[in-house]
Structures are given as structure tokens and as C-alpha cells.
């Protein structure tokens, strides 16, 4: 729970319930205000986890989901400081379907925090909580922030850089589909729904959330059965959080292209193949 006063002071408290968290946040805020009045000068405010009445310690990767809305807090912080927005990348999914453990990384500027949980939501919230806490405990000077943004060719992350990057796209003359082309695409989608085959039928009854499936092999089986080619294109440039990238092209008509990322080249290919299977599953569902 976060308690704000006149948008100047803030404090946070945690607890087993919202009531306990609010009490802890209120106590922390009173302590800060008392310290401000006694010293008769502004103090450097950093938000720290306050132990609740049951002496809860700071959350670890195996504990429950953070209280409050750390994703929203972090987003607001970045907007208020005019920083690039937080980026989240799913790094790992392990375990059986009923015992999945997710790892998600949160990246702000050059800072990186990782959260883990039994769902992507919990892992993302935990990563955001850690990042929010880190940035509160380590305030940055504006010139240092701009230096971080400019490093490694990240000039496009500036607001002005983003506008310049897409200025050409805004003014470009991208042709629209003609009536004939639109009919061709529509006919392709209709023909997909009418297709049949053992591998394609297996896809409709397969849960693509099962990490034990070899998505590349399954896609290859469907491609051989339906007579289209699959081409993997590994992208040299990594994502902002250091993930490998891959595009997979299905030589259908029109051509379909799906994207995947992962901590290794193989993982990026697997995710791209999985996304392609998701596409085929949707398009061939009757």
C-alpha cells in the first residue's frame, strides 16, 4: 500500500491484509514527516519496505504476489521522470503444466530486475516491485539518466528520437490492398479452415502451453503434410533486455511471418514456431 500526502511525501507498507499494509504505510509516513519537522529541512525521501506487525521480511522469489500495484507505480515513476517505459521479457518457463514456474525480467534504462512466480502475472508484478524499490533507493541525476539513454546507440529512446524514428513512416505512402488482393487473402483464410490432415487435426487438440512439446518438429510435420515451406531467420540484433530474436516464415499464400524471442537462439526459434502454430490453430479452427 502506498500513502501520498500532497503529492510530495510517500511511504509504503506491507502486510497480510490491506488494513495492515495501510497501517504500516501510515506509520512510515508519520515517521518521515516527524523527521522533516525536527530537522527543519527537507530530507532525502526513499521508500523502503516496512516490516509489518508480524515481522514479514522483504519478499523473496518464492513468496506470494506483491500487494498493491507495483506495475502501475513503476509506469507512473517513469512517466513522471520522462524515462522510457519499463520493458518486460519472459525469460523462462519451467516445470510441469500444473507446476509451472515463470521468470520475467523488468528493464528500465540499464537496470534489470527479475521476478519469479507460479504465473506470469505474479512474476511480472514481483519484477516491477523490485525495480520500483531499486529506483527509489538509488535516485539518479538527470544527466546520468540521459547518459544511460544515449549509451549503446539508444538515442531513439528519447522522446524526440522516437518522433524522428517514425517521422518517415508517418509520411510514407503505403499502398492499401486492392479489391482483388483482399479477395485473395479472404479466400486463403477460407481455404485454411477447410484443410484437413492428421498433423493439423493433432494441432487442434494440442495445448501449446505444454513446454514439453517440440514446436519446431510439430510445425515441420504440418508443413510437410500441407505442402508449405518453413524458413527460420535469426536476427542479429538482440532485444533491449538481451534476448535473441527469430522470425519464422511460412511459404503460404499470402506469406505468414511470426516472431519469437528467447535467452538462446534455439529458444527464440522455439517461440517463433509456437507462435506460428498458434496462428495456424486459430486459422484452421472450424
Residue 210 has pLDDT above 50, yes or no: yes
Is 119 within the bounds of a domain? yes
Mean pLDDT score, 86-113: 86
Instruction: Examine the fold and report which residue of 16, 35, 58 is the final residue of a domain before the chain moves on.
Output: 58
Provide the percentage of residues in the chain whose pLDDT is more than 70. 64
Nearest to 81 by CA among 148, 31, 17: 148
Pull the grid cell for residue 61. Answer: 522469489
Q: CB–CB of 127/115 below 8 Å?
A: yes
Q: Which domain holds residue 10?
A: 1-58
Q: Residues in the chain, how many?
A: 286
pLDDT of residue 153: 44
Is 30 within the bounds of a domain? yes
Name the packing angle between helices 265-283 and 215-226 (round to 10°): 50
Confidence of residue 284 (pLDDT cuts 50, 70, 90): confident
User: 230 and 215, same structural domain?
Assistant: yes
Pull the grid cell for residue 223. Answer: 508443413
pLDDT of residue 272: 94
Is 164 within the bounds of a domain? no
Is 174 within the bounds of a domain? no
Instruction: Examine the fold and report which residue of 158, 191, 213 is the final residue of a domain before the chain moves on.
Output: 158
Q: CB–CB of 193/219 below 8 Å?
A: no
User: 185 and 269, same structural domain?
Assistant: yes
User: 106 and 82, same structural domain?
Assistant: yes
User: 123 and 75, same structural domain?
Assistant: yes
Phi, psi dihedrals of residue 177, rounded to the nearest 5°: -65, 135
How far apart are the C-alpha atoms of 191 and 104, rounded to whole Å?
A: 38
Q: Note the pLDDT tens digit of each residue in 211-263.
A: 788 999 999 999 898 888 899 999 988 887 888 999 999 876 677 889 999 99
Mean pLDDT of the residues in the chain: 74
Nearest to 16 by CA among 48, 63, 72, 61: 63
Q: Who wins on pLDDT, 27 or 242?
A: 242
pLDDT of residue 216: 93
Q: CB–CB of 96/118 below 8 Å?
A: no
If DSSP codes are grouped into helix, strand and coil, which group holds residue 106?
strand
pLDDT of residue 163: 57
pLDDT of residue 45: 40
Q: Note the pLDDT tens digit of each residue in 146-198.
A: 555 555 444 444 444 555 555 555 666 667 767 877 777 777 767 766 777 88
Is 171 within the bounds of a domain? no
Mean pLDDT score, 203-214: 86
User: 200 and 278, same structural domain?
Assistant: yes
How far apart are the C-alpha atoms of 186 and 183, rounded to whole Å?
A: 5
pLDDT of residue 218: 93
Mean pLDDT score, 109-113: 86
Confidence of residue 41 (pLDDT cuts 50, 70, 90): very low
Nearest to 103 by CA among 130, 127, 79: 127
What is the DSSP track for 110-169? TEEEEEEESSHHHHHHHHHHHHHHHHHHS---HHHHHHHHHGGG-GGGSHHHHHHHHHHH
pLDDT of residue 66: 63
Range ranked top by mean pLDDT from 19-23, 31-35, 81-85 = 81-85
pLDDT of residue 247: 93
Q: Work out how many domains the chain is built from and give that number.
A: 3
User: 126 and 94, same structural domain?
Assistant: yes
Of 110-119, 190-199, 273-282, the one with minimum mean pLDDT is 190-199
User: 200 and 248, same structural domain?
Assistant: yes
Is 199 within the bounds of a domain? yes
Is 185 within the bounds of a domain? yes
Instruction: Examine the fold and report which residue of 58, 77, 97 is the final residue of a domain before the chain moves on.
Output: 58
Decide: pTM greater than 0.95.
no
Residue 270 has pLDDT above 80, yes or no: yes
User: 147 and 75, same structural domain?
Assistant: yes
Residue 58 has pLDDT above 60, yes or no: no
User: 50 and 133, same structural domain?
Assistant: no
Strands of the sheet with 230-235, listed across from one edge: 230-235, 244-250, 256-262
User: 85 and 51, same structural domain?
Assistant: no
User: 131 and 83, same structural domain?
Assistant: yes
Give kind and range of the element (H or E) at residue 257.
strand 256-262
Domain CATH code at residue 266: 3.30.160.20
User: 269 and 224, same structural domain?
Assistant: yes
Amino acid at each position: 500500500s502506498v500513502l501520498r500526502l500532497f503529492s510530495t511525501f510517500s511511504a509504503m507498507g506491507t502486510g497480510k491484509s490491506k488494513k495492515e499494509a495501510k497501517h504500516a504505510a501510515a506509520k512510515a509516513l508519520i515517521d518521515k514527516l516527524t523527521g522533516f519537522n525536527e530537522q527543519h529541512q527537507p530530507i532525502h525521501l526513499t521508500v523502503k519496505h516496512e516490516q509489518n506487525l508480524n515481522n514479514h521480511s522483504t519478499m523473496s522469489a518464492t513468496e506470494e504476489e506483491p500487494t498493491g500495484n507495483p506495475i502501475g507505480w513503476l509506469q507512473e515513476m517513469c512517466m513522471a521522470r520522462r524515462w522510457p517505459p519499463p520493458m518486460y521479457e519472459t525469460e523462462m518457463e519451467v516445470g510441469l503444466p500444473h507446476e509451472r514456474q515463470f521468470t520475467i525480467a523488468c528493464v528500465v534504462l540499464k537496470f534489470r530486475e527479475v521476478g519469479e512466480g507460479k504465473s506470469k502475472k505474479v512474476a511480472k508484478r514481483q519484477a516491477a516491485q523490485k525495480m520500483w524499490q531499486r529506483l527509489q533507493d538509488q535516485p539518479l541525476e538527470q544527466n546520468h539518466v540521459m547518459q544511460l539513454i544515449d549509451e549503446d546507440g539508444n538515442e531513439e529512446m528519447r522522446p524526440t528520437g522516437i518522433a524522428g524514428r517514425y517521422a518517415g513512416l508517418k509520411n510514407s505512402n503505403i499502398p492499401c490492398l486492392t479489391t482483388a488482393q483482399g479477395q485473395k487473402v479472404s479466400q486463403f483464410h477460407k481455404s485454411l479452415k477447410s484443410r484437413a490432415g492428421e498433423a493439423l487435426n493433432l494441432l487442434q487438440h494440442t495445448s501449446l502451453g505444454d513446454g514439453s512439446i517440440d514446436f519446431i518438429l510439430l510445425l515441420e510435420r504440418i508443413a510437410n503434410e500441407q505442402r508449405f515451406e518453413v524458413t527460420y531467420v535469426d536476427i542479429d540484433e538482440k532485444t533491449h533486455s538481451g534476448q535473441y530474436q527469430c522470425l519464422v516464415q511460412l511459404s503460404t499464400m499470402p506469406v505468414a511471418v511470426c516472431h519469437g524471442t528467447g535467452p538462446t537462439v534455439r529458444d527464440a526459434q522455439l517461440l517463433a514456431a509456437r507462435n506460428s502454430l498458434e496462428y495456424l490453430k486459430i486459422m484452421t479452427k472450424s
